[in-house]
Amino acid sequence: MPIKRASFKDLRKSNRKHIRNISIRSELHSYSKKVESLIAAKKADEARAALKIFISKLDKAASKGIIHKNAASRKSSRLMKRIAGLSKA
């Protein structure tokens, strides 16, 4: 445990941020699964709408430092590629 008062405050802040980060990561995971299931069901229009929301949440999480910006870019790119392939087939 910390000894100084500032260290106690820092510990409280990091706990709050940790809880926020976990909830945002969980939400991202849920949206990812939703988009994946729509792609698997071959529902292109619904998948595009869900992907738009998912990408905005990914970008926001990347800007806040919750996930790495390259990871967000990679995930959105792969899903966009799968939806584009769905449209062609």
- What is the domain-level CATH number for residue 35? 1.20.58.110
pLDDT tens string, the chain, 89 residues long: the values are 778 889 999 999 999 999 999 999 999 999 999 999 999 999 999 999 999 999 999 999 999 999 999 999 999 999 999 999 987 76
Could you list the residue range(s) of the whole structural domain that residue 38 is in?
5-88
Looking at the structure of the chain, the number of domains it has is 1
CA angle 89, 80, 75 (to 5 degrees): 135
Residue 89: predicted pLDDT: 63
The neighbour count for residue 86, using CB atoms within 10 Å, is 17
Task: Provide the CB-side half-sphere exposure for 21 (13 A, CA).
Answer: 13
